[in-house]
Chains A and B, each alone.
Chain A
Amino acid sequence: MSHHIVEVQDLSYTYPDGAAAVRGISFRIHHGESVAVVGANGAGKSTLLLHLNGALTPQRGSVRIGDFPLTKATLRDIRRTVGMIFQDPDDQLFMPTVFEDVAFGPLNLGLPPEEVEQRVLASLARVGVEHLRDRPPYKLSGGEKRAVSIAAVLAMSPDILVMDEPSANLDPRARRTLIELLAGFHHTKIIATHDLDLVLDLCPRTIVIREGQIMADGPTRDIFTNDRLLEESHLDKPLRMQACPVCSGSMARKAEDAGSAHEH
């Protein structure tokens, strides 16, 4: 299936105020792949993501989603193919009730009401929040808002999911639920995040961005064991890959035996 491919070639974008956010990025993501985009604040992650569904149009270079290059004419198809999950769910949930919000996309696609209802209920069930269907979004908890915003995107049945900081502002339990949920999806996934432990769970491949350029692109395990690369990119090893302070303190000898990079 060629149409779930995301291909970015030599992409550059400079904001009107002169800040060059993206400077010549190229990568190719295949069908069903799950890729993390990591980097410091202001490294250009968000700007890159905004190109993937045509919120920004490339100033130089090109973006191809599946068989289509991203142009004005293909925008509609591309926005249906690429589901974008925003960092702040409040930006994404603008309708008066959860049901209407999830139905917003499918209705705009022009689907008949029965089909819309079916899709809404199915996507609410998929993320486990059927019981919230008549609630107003502003009364939901952070985790519930996140789940509903994912359902709203799923209802458009996209092939590719693009997420900006999906675990931001979630409590540990909600974060765990989110990771399990995302792990169950078979979509092509592109996740921009600072949560490197989440990357370890979800993404076999990682792209590291610094100052608008790709520093590294490869298997997550390799990248997270490259201390110099992480240091240069303002990142820290995932907590799970760091030495346990308890073991390395009181049980230092044991820790030495087991090697410093063990998991708990």
Chain B
Amino acid sequence: MSAPTFRTQFLQHCRTHPIDGMTLVFHRPSGTTHFLDSPAPEMLDLLAAAPMDAARLTSALCARLGLDEDSEARTVVEARLAQLVDAGLVQVD
């Protein structure tokens, strides 16, 4: 079984605004408001550019943030992905 692919229409569906180092998001389809802290906004940016699985997203995110790619990074990405899916900001294929 292949790993699930994650995608988002974040750019089309959301109005965003930086505030106190966080990103304030208004999600039009649900009408909900979210405060996102790093690395969630960066993850949404990457997924908006191209759908990908958790492993590829971890690599891309670590490259963008200049971090070592290790098991902890993968754990954080998977946990944040689950939260973003729950919030309706990310969809799973």
Pairing of A with B: no
Q: Which residues of B contact A (CB under 8 A)?
A: none
> What residues of chain A have their CB less than 8 Å away from a CB belonging to chain B?
none
